[in-house]
Amino acid sequence: MKDNLVKLGFKPSEHDECIFYHGTAIFIVYTDDTILLGPNKSDIGNLVKLLAQTFKTEDQGELSDYLGIKIERKQDGTMEWTQPTLIPSMLQDIRLQGEGLKNQPKVRTIPASSTVALTDHQDSQDTTQENLITGR
């Protein structure tokens, strides 16, 4: 895919292999899920046509969800990306949601005292900067 995108004039990101740039547009690819973002609708339309010359494409309209991320366009033109299902899913995985809570031991939080100095455990290796450098 990367070679075909480069042939179409897309430049790969130096930092993430799933991101490509074409002018002011950003093209994000994850397996067969893609997003094409940019400030100019007509440029995006032209890029969709360009991509359709090489790839099977389907325009699904305004972006509202991508890989479990909820995407909402605000009235001021900004976009808010959130993961509203992530935390409930994590809580369910570790059985800390709903019925799973009944079978868990009682847990209560205890704030750490800000007046007690923390010390190394007596069996811990000394990790002072000097000993890390000299290996002692």
Name the residue range of residue 78's domain: 62-101
Higher model confidence: residue 123 or residue 131? Answer: 123
Residue 84 vs residue 18, higher pLDDT:
18
- Residue 91 in domain: yes
Is residue 32 domain-resident?
Answer: yes
Q: Annotate 72-113 with three-state secondary structure.
A: EECCCCCEEEECCCHHHHHHHHCCCCHHHHHHCCCCCCCCCC
Q: Where do we find the tokens 């940019």?
A: 38
Asked whether residue 56 falls in the same domain as residue 66, the answer is no
Mean pLDDT of the chain: 79
CATH of the domain at 30: 3.30.310
Residue 40 lies in a domain: yes
Both 18 and 69 in one domain: the answer is no
Counted domains in the chain: 2
pTM of the model: 0.57
Count of CB atoms situated within 10 Å of the CB of 25: 17
Report if residue 31 sits inside a domain. Answer: yes
Q: How far apart are CA 52 and CA 46, in angstroms?
A: 10
Query: What is the rounded distance in angstroms from the CA atom of residue 29 to the CA atom of residue 31?
Result: 6
Distance of CA 63 to the CA centre of its chain: 16
Segment 4-35, tens digit of pLDDT? 999 999 999 999 999 999 999 999 998 888 88
Q: What is the arithmetic mean of pLDDT over 73-80?
A: 86
In sequence order, the 6+-apart residues with CB closer than 8 A to the CB of 107 are none
Instruction: Tell whether 15 and 40 lie within a shared domain.
Output: yes
